Amino acid sequence: MTHETIASPLLTPARLGTHELANRLVVAPMTRTRAKRDGTPTPLMAEYYAQRATAGAIIAEAATPNAAGQTYPNITALHTDAHTDGWRQVTRAVRAAGGGPMFLQIQHGGRIGHPDTSGLTPMAPSPIPLPDPIHTPSGLQQAVTPREMTPDDIRQTIDDFARTARRAVEAGFAGVEVHSANGYLLHQFLAAGTNRRTDAYGGGIDNRIRFTTEVVAAVAAAIGAERTGLRVSPGKAVNGITETDTDDLYPALIEATGEDLAYLHIAFADPARPLFARLRGLRTGTLIANPVLPAERIPADGGREAAERLLDAGADLIALGRPFLANPDLVDRIRTGAPVNAVRAEYTMYTGGPTGYTDYPTLNPADR
């Protein structure tokens, strides 16, 4: 069965820094816990990303810059030669499949971690524990109270982000995305509810954005601002995060990180919120937006309508997660209006193996 070709602005060429993109669809970073126990990427991961190479660009899942940043079992890392070699196999597979530029998200979990997973006590801006249970090698456990980061911890972590960025480029990535969203370490510094510090990294907005801006500056100095992206999730209450000054916090952060970055990535972007338009106005460079989609199921159009609304509101590129997880050929399905696969939610995380990861069906060639 053939399908009528749909003309969508999502399918028009675009640019991301110095890169020409075939379309405006980006694979969003999604933790899928298929790495080895030490965080080394696997051949299965290379297969997974290569399957999704028709996207305009790919932002690979969060990799930790040091052992202390590990969140869950079998997440990826990039701070050893073995990690670098593993990721190199992934980027080579994507290039061999004809893929566009690939960025790597760098994430430190902060208080989202557990000694049973990393062998270390988690550290955070303040000793405030995650209120929710956390996945560990032995199952769900109550989160522990993190230790407050010292000035030396902060400096070391900034250096580790920069070193991981250099390794990412060595491994074949076009650049990296600094993850300052979704309740992880950098977001914990931004939010007053998790940052009770009284030094230069806590208190008012200028102090709470300092850690993220210093991480971004160090990464940009290491690999170039044109290779550096930043992800934020303004106002998103996730992983115990609460913000009281979102509308002032994020404009200050975006202004402080400068205009020269490869892109700004807004997660859970809502084009109806005045803050979205304000952040768009603060940046003349590339804006990647991740739409809010229903938690229960992927929309029948694969997220196309929500994505196009964000383009109309000023986004340049659209990052989609679960639609790409369940539909490696999402670009073809949007182009033809073909039905989309549903996510098999029970297999998305913490299971390992190909089920619900690399075994989603694709369209027959005649239907593309």
Which residues have a catalytic role annotated? 184
What is the token pair recorded at 179?
Answer: 């993850």
Q: What letter represents residue 201's amino acid?
A: Y
* Phi, psi values for residue 30, rounded to 5°: -135, 115
C-alpha span between 159 and 165 (Å, rounded): 10
Residue 76's nearest CA partner among 67, 158, 321 is 67
Residues in the chain, total: 368
* Phi, psi values for residue 144, rounded to 5°: -95, 160
Compute CA distances 14 → 11, 24, 66, 112, 317, whole Å.
Answer: 9, 6, 34, 36, 8
Residue 278 in contact with residue 300, Cβ under 8 Å?
Answer: no
Q: Tell me the three state secondary structure of residue 303.
A: coil
C-alpha span between 240 and 257 (Å, rounded): 25
